[in-house]
């Protein structure tokens, strides 16, 4: 369904879904924003998979009919090299969406692993990991990413690498405090009293319960990842031309300011995809976090989690 | 303190990882071997890395961030010229987003699950989903190019004489001069870039405020206050908002961070002469002292803001004790 579902091993996901009560499952569908988000996300995933078939023109084919306003032949108009913008927007989905998923997967895995280690091992290891997290979050993501990509050279790979470097602390913090608080919970203590080793308790009881918040966080940060990647490309530090990319298309649009269609349509693409992920994340939050039934608001939930710890 | 050393070390190592030679990036089309050697000599680029780092730290302690290879000015001079511009933008964004964000959040919580709440929920989700640079561009196209209502970038119209430099905030300085025309001009230049930043921050603040308010909305003491016959306004401001304040202060730290990050993108679109634009320009031209200076400055501001948030937290919430 959504990219996040695909990101989880099916066994764990099933276990996870089974553990939810029926009423929660029903409230899923009662939320129109969740439905809208799922629909838009599904459309984008279909587009990303079948883009070459859906695109009316070759996204790289240049033509003498440059900077043409939207018309029947080119519904989104043409760019400064006469390329069809609709085709470019569609094909760019193959580039931007998997990259955002990749970024969230890498940062999520790294952050979760370090968070579990920090919470589980404790002591100086915990101190070291958390100070590192503080360090990397002392810079605004885009500034540090800008420096990293500028140093390593602008490319798609370096943009992802840079953003992984700056986003893993988000996951590490949340996972660490969850591991700490769930580790204290009575059902985990009871499991331990039955003779389970700490490691076994971690795998059987703690980790499955950490996954819920992590999925919510990952969905919401999928939207963020999309925006950050597009921002870096907009600054010329991400995916390089001629590969179609939403952020860099907008960047070209700034130079052809009077031709509104050049920037508007790629921007709408980013906006709709990010909105879809935020809608889904917001809905998942209500399902996975019974607390948020009262206050389904706070983004990411890292704050409330940290206060608990 | 350890954090600060770490920050300088990271930005130093990052800038050293540059595969390109900064001399080549800054000396124009046809550098001669002599000019490259002179460039290396001038900026100490041939010293061993630890020596360069210790030299840098030594200078840093004396408030010397080195000389920008691009503007040929000391980085501290560059920064002190640019910081007020970014600060004016940030203050504008934070003031307006706090007013509207807290207002929207309280409204959404009081009208929970009604149309207003759902509407605000969609609005705030949209606010954090919209790419700032795109929104800025759209705003420029409509308000500047199409309708000519607002200026197209920069801090002041070229024909407007800048106000006497007192605070560095053009709007405040213009008022101090008593020059309303200049004030209006500076304010009009703030509306679009500030507005883009406000939209994002409003969404964040409003979502946090809503959940903080909902947590205390049905608390016994709030019911008691209502039962006493206090007006709704008093109940909301004195009782509910007072309890929600720590959460709002926490989100302010986050908002501040987002405004600074957003400034990088927004300043580039609106040609706003602040540190965001400076950071971008120095990053693409591999201007090492400037990149390090900017990132250390921003990280320092971050650390200070977080410290202030923590301190405020202790002042506001009597349960928190400073250790």
Q: Does any domain span residue A108? A: yes
- 3-state DSSP assignment of residue A265: helix
Q: In this complex, do A146 and B18 lie within 8 Å of one another by their Cβ atoms?
A: no
- A82, part of any domain: no
Residue B164 predicted with pLDDT over 80? no
Q: Is the same domain home to B33 and B87?
A: no
Structural domain ending residue among the three candidates B61, B87, B112 = B61
> Is residue B203 one of the residues assigned to a domain?
yes
- Give chain A's domain count: 1
| Confidence (pLDDT) at A105 | 93
A182, A188 in Cβ contact below 8 A?
yes
CA angle A174, A227, B280 (to 5 degrees): 105
B49 and B85 belong to one structural domain: no
Inside any domain, residue A21: no
% of chain B with per-residue pLDDT over 70: 89
What is the distance between the alpha carbons of residues A64 and B97, in angstroms, rounded to a whole number? 46
Quick one: B90 and B48 in the same domain? no
A303 and B247 in contact (C-beta within 8 Å)?
yes
Flag whether A169 is in a domain: yes
For residue B37, give both structure tokens.
């050697």
If asked whether residues B36 and B180 sit together in one domain, one would say: no
* Tokens encoding B142: 């409509």
Residue A4: the pLDDT is 43
pLDDT at B108: 92
Q: Do B47 and B127 lie in a common domain? A: no
Q: Round to whole Å and give the CA distance between A132 and A41.
A: 34
Give ipTM to 2 decimals: 0.82
Dist. CA A55–CA A84, nearest whole Å = 9
When computed from its CA atoms, the radius of gyration of chain A, rounded to whole angstroms, is 22
Work out how many domains chain B is built from and give that number.
2
In a domain, B32, yes or no: yes
* A303 in contact with B, Cβ within 8 Å: yes
**3-state SS, residue A84:** strand
What's B283's domain CATH number?
1.10.3720.10
The residue of B1, B4, B115, B129 whose CB has the most chain A CBs within 10 angstroms, and thus the best one to mutate to test that interface, is B129
Residues of chain A positioned with their CB less than 8 A from the CB of B283: 146-147, 149-150, 237
pLDDT in tens, B222-255: 888 888 888 888 888 888 888 888 888 888 888 8
Mean pLDDT of B152-169: 78
- A230 in contact with B, Cβ within 8 Å: yes
Q: What confidence score (pLDDT) does residue B321 get? A: 62
> Would the CB atoms of B131 and A257 count as touching at under 8 Å?
no
| Distance of residue A291 Cα from the nearest chain B Cα, in angstroms | 10
H/E element holding A18? helix A10-18
B210 pLDDT higher than 50:
yes
* Identity of the residue in A138, A277, A303 whose CB atom sits nearest the CB atom of B303: A138
Q: Are B155 and B287 in the same domain?
A: yes
* Judgement on whether residues B305 and B259 belong to the same structural domain of the protein: yes
Which is nearest to A173 in space by CA: A235, A226, A126? Answer: A126
* Identity of the residue in B14, B211, B250 whose CB atom sits nearest the CB atom of A147: B14
B302 occurs within a structural domain: yes
Same domain, B32 and B97: no
A264 touches chain B (CB under 8 A): yes
B83 and B54 within one domain:
no
Q: Is residue A127 part of a domain?
A: yes
- Long-range (24+ apart) CB contacts under 8 A made by A62-70 are A67/A256, A67/A259, A67/A262, A69/A259, A69/A261, A70/A261
Give the pLDDT confidence score for residue A7 in this predicted structure. 46
DSSP 3-state of A260: coil
Distances (CA, A) of B234 to B38, B99, B243: 70, 18, 13
Shortest CA gap A200–chain B (Å): 36
pLDDT of residue B162: 78
Task: List the single best residue of B134, B145, B270 to mutate versus A (max A Cβ within 10 A).
Answer: B134
Mean pLDDT of chain B: 82
Q: Is residue A28 part of a domain?
A: no
B236 domain-assigned: yes
Report residue B175 CA to chain centroid gap.
23
- Residue A239 sits at φ, ψ, to 5 deg, of -55, 135
Query: Is there a contact between B129 and A271 if contact means CB atoms under 8 Å apart?
Result: yes
Reported as a single tens digit per residue, the pLDDT across B125-145 is 999 899 998 998 888 888 888
Confidence of residue B28 (pLDDT cuts 50, 70, 90): low
Q: Which of A212, A159, A257 is nearest to A4 (CA)?
A: A212
DSSP letters spanning A39-78: HHHHHHHHHHHHHHHH-SS-TT---SSTTPPP-SSSTT-B
- A vs B: CB pairs below 8 A: 164
Both B158 and B290 in a single domain? Answer: yes
Is B128 close to A299, i.e. CB distance below 8 A? yes
In a domain, A195, yes or no: yes
CATH code of the domain containing A289: 1.10.3720.10
CB contact under 8 A, B140 and A257: yes
Contact state of B291 with A147 under an 8 Å Cβ cutoff: yes
- Asked if B14 lies within 8 A of A258 by C-beta distance, the reply is no
- Condensed to tens digits (0 to 9), the pLDDT of residues A267-299 reads 999 999 999 999 998 888 777 655 544 333 333
Q: Which chain B residue's Cα is nearest to A298?
A: B208
Of B17, B134, B208, the CB nearest to A152: B17
Touching check for A166 and chain B: CB below 8 Å? Answer: no
Are B153 and B165 a contacting pair, CB within 8 Å? Answer: no
Q: Specify if A245 maps to a domain.
A: yes
Q: Using CA atoms, how far apart are residues A1 and A71, in angstroms rounded to an integer?
A: 34
What domain range is A194 assigned to? 94-308
pLDDT of residue B202: 93
Q: For every residue of chain B, which 3-state class applies, written as one string? A: CHHHHHHHHHHHHHHHCCCCCHHHHHCCCCCCHHHHHHHHHHHCCCCCHHHHHHHHHHHHHCCCCCECCCCCCEHHHHHHHHHHHHHHHHHHHHHHHHHHHHHHHHHHHHCCCCHHHHHHHHHHHHHHHCCHHHHHHHHHHHHHHHCCCCCCCCCCCCCCCCCCCCCCCHHHHHHHHCCHHHHHHHHHHHHHHHHHHHHHHHHHHHHHHHHHHHHHHCCHHHHHHHHCCCCHHHHHHHHHHHHHHHHHHHHHHHHHHHHHHHHHHHHHHCCCCCHHHHHHHHHHCCCHHHHHHHHHHHHHHHHHHHHHHHHHHHHHCCCCCCC
The encoded tokens of residue B301 equal: 């501001």
CA atoms within 13 A on the CB side of A16: 22
Query: How far is B284 from B8, CA to CA, in rounded Å?
Result: 20
Cβ <8 Å between B125 and A275: yes
With an 8 Å Cβ cutoff, are A295 and B210 in contact?
A: yes
Query: Is residue B71 assigned to a domain?
Result: no
Provide the percentage of residues in chain B whose pLDDT is more than 90: 15
* Residue A19 pLDDT: 47
Answer whether A267 touches B (CB < 8 Å): yes
Domain presence at residue B73: no
pLDDT for position A271: 94
Planar angle of CA A66, B144, A70, nearest 5 degrees: 30
Identify the DSSP state of A139.
Answer: S
Q: What is the pLDDT of residue A242?
A: 78
Residues A229 and A159: beta-carbon distance below 8 Å: yes
Closest residue on chain A to B140 (Cα): A257
Domain that holds residue B24: 2-61
Q: Is residue B47 domain-shared with residue B89, that is, in the same domain?
A: no
Beta-bridge partner residues of A84? A78
Q: B205: pLDDT confidence band, cut at 50, 70 and 90?
A: very high
Task: Using 70 as the pLDDT threshold, list the residues of chain A that sit under it.
Answer: 1-30, 66, 150, 288-309
Exposed/middle/buried for B274, CB within 10 Å: 0-12, 13-18, 19+?
buried
């Amino acid at each position: 369904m959504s990219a996040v579902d695909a990101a989880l091993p099916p066994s764990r996901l099933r276990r996870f879904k089974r553990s939810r009560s029926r009423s929660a499952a029903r409230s899923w569908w009662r939320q129109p924003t969740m439905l809208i988000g799922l629909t838009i996300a599904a459309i984008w995933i279909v587009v990303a998979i079948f883009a070459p078939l859906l695109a009316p023109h070759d996204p790289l084919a240049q033509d003498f009919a440059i900077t043409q306003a939207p018309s029947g032949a080119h519904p989104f108009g043409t760019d400064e090299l006469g390329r069809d913008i609709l085709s470019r927007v569609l094909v760019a989905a193959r580039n931007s969406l998997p990259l955002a998923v990749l970024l969230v997967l890498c940062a999520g895995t790294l952050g979760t692993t370090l968070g579990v280690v920090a919470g589980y091992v404790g002591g100086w290891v915990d101190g070291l990991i958390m100070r590192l997290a503080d360090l990397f979050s002392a810079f605004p993501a885009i500034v540090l990413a800008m420096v990293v990509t500028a140093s390593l050279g602008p490319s798609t790979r370096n943009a992802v690498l840079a953003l992984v470097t700056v986003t893993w602390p988000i996951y590490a913090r949340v996972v660490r405090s969850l591991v700490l608080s769930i580790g204290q919970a009575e059902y985990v203590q009871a499991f331990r009293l039955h003779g389970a080793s700490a490691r076994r308790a971690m795998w059987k009881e703690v980790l499955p319960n950490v996954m819920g918040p992590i999925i919510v966080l990952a969905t919401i940060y999928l939207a963020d990842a999309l925006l950050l990647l597009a921002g870096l490309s907009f600054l010329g530090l991400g995916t390089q031309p001629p590969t179609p990319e939403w952020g860099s298309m907008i960047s070209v649009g700034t130079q052809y300011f009077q031709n509104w269609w050049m920037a508007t349509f790629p921007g709408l693409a980013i906006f709709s995809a990010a909105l879809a992920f935020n809608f889904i994340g917001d809905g998942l939050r209500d399902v996975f976090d019974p607390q948020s039934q009262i206050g389904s608001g706070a983004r990411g939930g890292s704050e409330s989690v940290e206060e608990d710890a | 303190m350890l954090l600060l050393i770490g920050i300088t070390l990271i930005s130093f190592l990052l800038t050293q990882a540059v595969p390109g030679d900064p001399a080549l990036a800054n000396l124009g089309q046809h550098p001669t071997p002599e000019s490259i050697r002179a460039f290396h000599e001038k900026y100490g680029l041939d010293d061993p890395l630890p020596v360069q780092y210790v030299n840098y730290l030594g200078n840093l302690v004396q408030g010397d961030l080195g000389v920008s290879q691009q503007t040929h000015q000391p980085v501290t001079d560059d920064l002190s010229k640019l910081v007020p511009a970014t600060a004016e933008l940030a203050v504008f964004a934070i003031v307006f987003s706090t007013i509207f964000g807290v207002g929207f959040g309280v409204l959404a919580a009081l009208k929970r699950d009604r149309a207003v709440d759902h509407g605000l929920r969609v609005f705030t989700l949209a606010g954090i989903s919209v790419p700032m640079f795109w929104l800025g561009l759209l705003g420029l196209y409509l308000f500047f190019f199409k309708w000519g209502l607002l200026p197209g970038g920069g801090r002041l119209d070229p024909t407007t004489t800048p106000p006497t430099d007192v605070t560095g905030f053009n709007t405040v300085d213009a008022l101090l001069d008593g020059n309303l025309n200049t004030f209006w001009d500076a304010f009009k230049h703030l509306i679009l870039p500030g507005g883009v930043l406000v939209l994002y921050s409003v969404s964040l603040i409003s979502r946090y405020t809503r959940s903080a308010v909902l947590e205390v909305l049905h608390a016994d003491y709030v019911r008691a206050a209502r039962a006493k016959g206090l007006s709704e306004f008093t109940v909301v401001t004195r009782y509910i908002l007072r309890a929600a304040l720590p959460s709002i202060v926490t989100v302010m730290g986050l908002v501040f961070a987002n405004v600074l990050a957003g400034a990088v993108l927004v300043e580039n679109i609106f040609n706003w002469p602040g540190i965001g634009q400076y950071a971008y320009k120095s990053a693409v031209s591999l201007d090492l002292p400037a990149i390090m200076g900017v990132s250390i400055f921003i990280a320092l501001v971050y650390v200070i803001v977080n410290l202030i948030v923590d301190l405020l937290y202790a002042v506001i919430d009597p349960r928190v004790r400073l250790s």
